[in-house]
Structure 1
Amino acid sequence: MTRLALLLVLALSACGTPAWRDAAIPVRPAMGFELDRYLGEWYEIARFPNRFEEGCTDVTAAYDLNEDGTVAVTNSCPNRDEMAEGTAETTDDPAVLRVSFAPGWVPFATADYIVIWVDQGYQTAVVASPEAGLGWILARDRQPDAARLEEARDVLRANGYDPSALIEPVQVTGL
């Protein structure tokens, strides 16, 4: 757990934009985003390459509201028996969450996770962290509708990402 969190912090602090992200195109947060509808468990359907999730399958991300108004973030990689627990704070834009997986005493260990799209039923979402060139397609079910996935890829393109670089981890039914 600690190793995964440390790797996440290091990856987010790395300089440079990867080849699959055109930094000249601004990332636009989702309009009308509702955090309470976004909370809950999501399956990672696709991600851009990153060191902290290398080899992970059956990846999930869970978002739960804490009593103090922050959001508990739990990312799991069960095939490596790893879990990263962090905290997110809302910003002036509800679709932008400032996330940290590091202990509070570690400076500069936050990154903006921007929900750039969520479908009308909050069943599929696209999350980006443009400073690090990171991005994910998330869904409420392990095998979402192909049309929703293509819409998610279109959103990535419009926000400066090249979806051909996406990794689609295995999601095993029934875990």
Structure 2
Amino acid sequence: MRFLIVLMIMLVSGCTGVPDNIKPVSNFELQRYLGKWYEIARLPHRFEDGLHKVTAHYSLREDGGVKVVNRGYHVEDQQWDEAEGKAYFVDDENTGHLKVSFFGPFYASYVIITLDENYEYAMVTGPDRDYLWLLSRTPTLGKETVARLVEQAASMGYAVDDLIFVEQNIDTSKTG
């Protein structure tokens, strides 16, 4: 529940722009992007405090948009937090720039700034450099790849020293 509440607050104050001097990926193919992604690293935000095993699942909506389900395990509370939202392209469907909403008519940017040619990993930002996520199709990502992404993010002006590397191997067997 905490996940959803803070996401709503973020989205109310967010916008659908792109950070200065950042370009979303082009030649984007939504069908290849759909499915499950694991959060490898993120900049800190209250809506993800204490969450491990964070994933995002993207699927098509009947209205042509994208269904977004973010999920993470809160170790201290020994429970899962989940938020469901919707996303739509801001420009054209070949550009990795979407607007996402978890609450009513309020949207925030979801800008894919790096995407592996095989859609195996991605780097995503929000409307400004306070938001950054490294995502992977698998729970772990090679050290060289992570180092390259972190270096790229640093060169783009992101506070990479603040990155939180997400634990994907937390034991969740104590929950129902």
The TM-score with structure 2 as length reference comes to 0.83
Residue 169 of structure 1 and its aligned partner are, at CA, apart by 1.6
CA distance in 2, matches of 1:41, 1:171: 14
CA distance in 2, matches of 1:39, 1:60: 13
CA distance in 1, matches of 2:164, 2:7: 17
Show CA shifts across 1:62-119 (max 9, x none).
1111121100000001333210000001121430010000134xxxx21011000011
Residue 26 of structure 1 and its aligned partner are, at CA, apart by 2.1
The structure whose residues are more often strand, as a share, is 2
CA distance in 2, matches of 1:44, 1:128: 13
CA distance in 2, matches of 1:37, 1:119: 11
SS in 2 for 1:149: helix
CA distance in 1, matches of 2:139, 2:163: 17
State the partner residue of 1:87.
Answer: 86
Q: 1:43 aligns with which of 28, 38, 47?
A: 38
Show CA shifts across 1:31-82 (max 9, x none).
3222111111000000000000000000000111112110000000133321
State whether structure 2 residue 119 is matched by structure 1 residue 118.
no
Q: Does the aligned pair in 2 maintain the 1:28–1:159 contact within 8 Å?
A: no
CA distance in 2, matches of 1:115, 1:50: 19
CA RMSD of aligned residues (A): 2.3
CA distance in 2, matches of 1:124, 1:103: 30
The percent of aligned pairs where both chains have the same amino acid is 36
Which 5+ residue runs of structure 2 have no aligned equivalent? none
Show CA shifts across 1:113-133 (max 9, x none).
100001111111001003371
1:113-152 alignment, distance < 5 Å? 113-131=110-128, 133-152=130-149
1:60-79 alignment, distance < 5 Å? 60-79=55-74
Show CA shifts across 1:2-49 (max 9, x none).
54222112134458xxxxxxx984221113222111111000000000
Residue 159 of structure 1 and its aligned partner are, at CA, apart by 2.6
Q: 1:55 aligns with which of 46, 50, 68?
A: 50
State the partner residue of 1:20.
Answer: none
Number of equivalent positions = 163
Which 5+ residue runs of structure 1 have no aligned equivalent? 16-22
Residue 154 of structure 1 and its aligned partner are, at CA, apart by 2.7
Q: Does the aligned pair in 2 maintain the 1:11–1:50 contact within 8 Å?
A: no
Residue 126 of structure 1 aligns with an amino acid whose one-letter code is M
Residue 148 of structure 1 and its aligned partner are, at CA, apart by 1.6
Residue 156 of structure 1 aligns with an amino acid whose one-letter code is A
Q: Does the aligned pair in 1 maintain the 2:123–2:132 contact within 8 Å?
A: yes
1:154-169 alignment, distance < 5 Å? 154-169=151-166
